[in-house]
Each structure stands twice: as C-alpha cells, then as structure tokens.
C-alpha cells in the first residue's frame, strides 16, 4: 500500500491516498469522483490547474490560451540552487511552462475567461511570467467583453525575481482596474493557500470573492506574524471561515457547489419560463383616495408583527438564483443587512435589504434589523457593483433604525449612512424601494433614495419612532399612539405627502397571513416598475431621481411647499 501527497493524486488514481485532513486512507478513484474532496472530513485536496479547468468548465468547452510569457533570471539569483535550475525542475514536475493556465470556455453555456494558478509550480509564486499571464487573461476578457474568473493558489511574490516580481502586483491590479472601467465582472476563487502579493493585488480586487472551505488567505503568513508579534495566533486564523466572519470574503462554497454558484453569478444566463405574476393594477394603489382610513398606531403595530415576511422571505419566494454576498471588505459583516445577486423573472438584479428575523434567536443574531456601519458599507459596496455591471437595484426597508450603540458610533455610523444616501443619488441604474415593514429614520432612508419608493399597505415610515417622539416631546412614552398620528407614519398619509409613490395591497389578514401571496404581489409590482425604468437613459434616471428628492420641502408658486 502506497501513501501519497495530495499533489500526487492525479498520477495514480488506482492507489490509496492518506488524507492530510483526517489521516483516513482513501481509494484514489473514489477521491477523484468526489472532486478530490475527502468524503470523511471534507478536506479539499489541492488541484493541478488543468484539473481545475476540467472541473469548472462545461465538457469539451475549454480552450487553453497559450500566451508567450517568458521568465528571465534578472537577478542571477541563487540560494542553495540557482533560480533557473529550480525553474526548470518545476517545469519538468508539472508539465507547465509557468504556474498559471489561462483558458476560455463556458459554464452552463455562459462564456468566460479563467486564469488558474497551480501551487505545484514554485508555490504558485507571482513572478514576471505569472503576472503577464494574469494580465493577458484580463486583457482577453476586456477585448471580448467576457467575465474573468481567477483561481488563486500562491505563497506570494516570487523572491527570486526581486523588485520585478513586486511590480506584478501593480501590473495585475491595473489590468483589473481596466475591467472595472469597462464594467466587466470579475470573480476570485480563493483556494488553499493564497498569500502575499497575490492576496494584496488581484485576488482582493474582484467583484465577488469565493473561497473553498478552510482555504488560508492573507497578506503575511502565520509563521511571519507569530515571529513578529511574539505569540501564537488562534486556531483557524486566516482561514476562509475566519475571514467570512469578518466580512473579507463574500462566501464559502464546497467544491461540489462551485459550478452552480458561478452559474448563478455570471451574467447572460438564458431565460427560463417563470410563473405568471399578479396583475399590477390589482395590487398597486397610487391614489390615496382608494385607501381606507388607517389608524397610524395600529399600522405601527402591524408593521412590527414578527410574522411578517422578511427581506430573505421575499427573496426566497419572489426571486430565483439568488446568491447572497457578504461583508464590507474592510473587516465587518453585519447580519442585519443582507444583499446579493438574483433574478426577478428573467431580469438579473442586485437586492439589498434590512433583515430582522422571526424568532428571538434570529432577532438577536440580526440585531433586530438594526444594521451596524459594516451593514451600510456592505450595502454601498453591492450598489456600486450594480452600477458597474449595469444591474437594476431593489431595496427592502424593514428596520427600527440604524444601530445606535457606542461601537457603531466609534466605527462611523453616520458616515456609513451618509455614504449610502449620497451615492444612491448618482447611481446610473434603476432603483426601486419597497418598505415592507417598519422604516425608521436615516437607517431606512440609507436604502430608499430610489427612482420609485413603494410601501406595503401596513408598512410605516418616519423620521423617528413614535415612542422616541413621545419621550422627547411629551416626556411620556405612553403617548406613542398620539405621536404616531401626529407623525403621519401610515401608508395612506405617506402617499398623500408624496413621500411614497404607491401602496402595495396586502393579502387578507396582512402579509403575515400569506407569505407566498405577499411575495408574488411585491414581485409583480417590482417587475413592472423595473421594466418601465429600464427604458430610461442613465442620465435621465439620475436627473429625475435628484429632482424627486430636491422637491421635498421646496417652496412652490403661491408660497406653498411640497
């Protein structure tokens, strides 16, 4: 019986392999059928670049792009062996000229360009030739206007090429910046390990960052950090799971789910048959006279009902192929704010919304739908992505307000909210907002600077909670019902004031009585609104949106204000 390292697996599928994760003995063929993922512990064995291409692309669709990237020993470098000797041995061992394979192909018949790093080749280090291949892949994606997928596996910049390897960080970053300018989607798939110059350049510049489970990802390696700070780091430090909790990556996906995840994310998926949506005229009310009188305090109570559908409930029932994206990319992940890419009927959209939950544990985990600064920074990041890709934006409002804690203030809550508000006034894509429950103060407005603002029949929207208003002005929180009436927080009054553009009728008993029907009503209205807005040029969208908000409180002829 022969034990083998994961790098040797592909050479003898008939033999037995010891899993580095759990030390189980695995039959080679079984391991290969499982995409080189240990069926016992889930350990993801490293893959050669060519095998990764075969796993990800549709069968027989991949074409290897052979770019003329060459390596020179510019430093005449030698440690225990000359650099050129090490380089030649890496070529013999892997059959590759360099540690990156560039391919054009399809995933579920959607075309893309991929640059796949191979850790077997000098630890996937980033030298001049590797940087050239990444850049060639980006330039090919730019030329053909195709999405770019980069699969990373690297110890960092190649020391043997000194400052020339360092320059590859700038070179590849510049190549991705050109794709940003051209509004072409980029996706990074982080595999174990990804460190140094690769992590600090193109790997973290992509629109979406996916990681395989337990993949290590960071700038400085664990040993370097421990030597620098003089003590041991915690277990799991720099793993995908560690980074996901801190908002650095968008998601963790096991190898078996990667193709499906990429299919959902890639633009240009073929249309599918979708269920008929309710007629908009049957559920959307734009004339306040058609709405019955509502007790504002009763509306507040209904809006806060824990049985009402949440943002994720509306997404699950009204959208398809949704992939949630996480994190603000600078150290925070807020579960009180959710967002991602999905499809409304056959239109790809970016969806962002507050998320409360239904149970005590969910409410606690989601901070009662009160986002932290990281939540608003995540929302801003996703809306910028929508603008880059030319995707419409749907936002769902359901929050008592932004989280008011000391930590939130220390992290810049006001600035995070203002960033969202200011940015939304300039986004060149259609934006539709639905207030599905409670819309509280600036924490709600941060997602509601839209071309069309709609509200569910039993939703509310206010500058402050009735309880807060009562405490400040009456010095008596029990006066909240009177405050609600004075603030005119209910849907009918909001429509009369012009703060909302329409009211979506709810099923009998309210949205909480029938989540599916409520979601279908909202989806139908959203679909109609986006279809109407899609015909407007970006400059006209922005101009009309700015005029909409410019008009509130402006003095009109005859001395009136709107």
pLDDT averaged per 10 residues in sequence order, the chain, 562 residues: 40 74 92 94 95 96 91 91 95 95 96 97 96 98 98 96 96 98 98 96 98 96 90 93 97 97 85 61 88 91 96 97 96 96 95 96 94 97 97 97 92 96 97 97 96 97 93 93 95 95 95 96 96 94 96 68 54
CA 222 to chain centre: 27
- Structural domains in the chain, sorted by start: 1-44 (no CATH), 46-265 (3.90.226.10), 280-559 (3.90.226.10)
Question: Quick one: CA torsion of 89, 94, 95, 97, rounded to 10 degrees?
Answer: -70
* Nearest CA-CA partner of 457 in 497, 432, 494, 488: 494
pLDDT of the residue at 553: 87
15: Cβ contacts below 8 Å, ≥ 6 apart: 2, 4, 28
Cα 455 from Cα 492, distance rounded (Å): 10
pLDDT of the residue at 68: 86
pLDDT of the residue at 292: 86
pLDDT of the residue at 6: 44
pLDDT of the residue at 149: 98
110-117 and 460-462 strand pairing: unpaired
Token pair of 151, please? Answer: 């699969």
pLDDT of the residue at 4: 36
Cα 113 from Cα 67, distance rounded (Å): 13
Following DSSP, what letter does each residue of 351-404 receive, concatenated?
Answer: EEEE---SSHHHHHHTGGG---HHHHHHHHHHHHHHHHHT--EEEEEEES-S--
Token pair of 367, please? Answer: 């901070």
Cβ 44 vs Cβ 191: under 8 Å: yes
Taken as a whole, the chain contains a residue count of 562
pLDDT of the residue at 137: 98
* Nearest CA-CA partner of 238 in 287, 184, 193: 193
pLDDT of the residue at 276: 59
pTM summary value: 0.92
172: Cβ contacts below 8 Å, ≥ 6 apart: 126, 131, 134, 135, 138, 201, 202
* Nearest CA-CA partner of 186 in 211, 163, 171, 204: 204
Cα 469 from Cα 313, distance rounded (Å): 31
């Amino acid at each position: 019986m022969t034990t083998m390292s994961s790098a040797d697996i592909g050479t003898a599928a008939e033999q037995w392999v010891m899993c580095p994760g759990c030390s189980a003995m695995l039959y080679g063929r079984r391991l290969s059928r499982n995409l080189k993922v240990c069926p016992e512990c889930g350990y993801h064995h490293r893959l050669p670049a060519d095998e990764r291409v075969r796993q990800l692309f549709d069968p027989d669709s991949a074409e290897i792009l052979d770019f003329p990237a060459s390596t020179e020993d510019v430093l005449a470098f030698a440690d225990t062996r000359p650099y050129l000797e090490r380089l030649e041995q890496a070529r013999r061992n892997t059959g590759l000229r360099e540690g990156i394979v560039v391919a054009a192909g399809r995933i579920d018949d959607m075309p893309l360009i991929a640059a796949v790093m191979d850790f077997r080749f000098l630890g996937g280090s980033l030298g001049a030739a590797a940087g050239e291949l990444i850049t060639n892949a980006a330039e090919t994606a730019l030329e053909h206007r195709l999405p770019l997928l980069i699969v990373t596996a690297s110890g960092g910049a190649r020391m043997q090429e000194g400052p020339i390897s360092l320059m590859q960080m700038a070179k590849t970053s510049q190549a991705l910046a050109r794709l940003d300018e051209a509004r072409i989607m980029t996706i990074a798939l982080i595999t174990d390990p990804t460190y140094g110059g690769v992590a600090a350049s193109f790997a973290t510049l992509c629109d979406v960052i996916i990681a395989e489970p337990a993949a290590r990802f960071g700038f400085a390696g664990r040993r370097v950090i421990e030597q620098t700070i003089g003590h041991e780091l915690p277990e799991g430090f720099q793993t995908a799971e560690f980074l996901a909790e801190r908002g650095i990556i968008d998601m963790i996906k096991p190898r078996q789910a990667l193709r499906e995840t990429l299919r959902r994310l890639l633009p240009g998926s073929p249309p599918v048959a979708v269920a008929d949506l309710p007629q908009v005229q049957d559920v959307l009310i734009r004339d306040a006279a058609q709405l019955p009188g509502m007790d504002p305090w009763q509306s507040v109570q209904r809006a806060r009902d824990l049985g009402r559908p949440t943002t994720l409930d509306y997404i699950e029932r009204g959208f398809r192929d949704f992939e949630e994206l996480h994190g603000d990319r600078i150290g925070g992940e807020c579960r009180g704010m959710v967002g991602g890419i999905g499809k409304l009927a056959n239109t790809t959209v970016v969806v962002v919304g507050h998320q409360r939950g239904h149970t005590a544990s969910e409410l606690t985990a989601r901070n009662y739908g009160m986002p932290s600064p990281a939540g608003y920074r995540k929302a801003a990041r996703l809306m910028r992505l929508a603008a880059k890709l030319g995707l419409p934006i749907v936002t769902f409002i359901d929050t008592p307000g932004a989280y008011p804690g000391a930590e939130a203030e220390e992290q810049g809550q006001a600035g995070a909210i203002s960033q969202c508000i200011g940015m939304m006034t300039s986004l060149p894509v259609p934006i539709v907002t639905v207030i599905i429950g409670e819309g509280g103060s600036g924490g709600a407005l941060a997602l509601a600077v839209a071309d069309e603002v709609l509200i569910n029949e039993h939703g509310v929207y206010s500058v402050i909670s009735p309880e807060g208003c009562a405490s400040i002005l009456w010095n008596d929180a029990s006066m909240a019902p009177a405050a609600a009436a004075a603030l005119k927080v209910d849907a009918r009054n909001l429509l009369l004031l012009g703060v909302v553009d329409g009211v979506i009728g709810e099923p009998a008993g309210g949205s909480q009585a029938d989540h599916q029907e409520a979601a279908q009503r909202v989806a139908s209205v959203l679909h109609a609104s986006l279809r109407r807005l899609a015909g407007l040029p970006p400059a006209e969208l922005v101009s009309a949106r700015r005029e909409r908000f410019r008009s509130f409180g402006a003095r009109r002829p005859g001395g009136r204000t709107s």
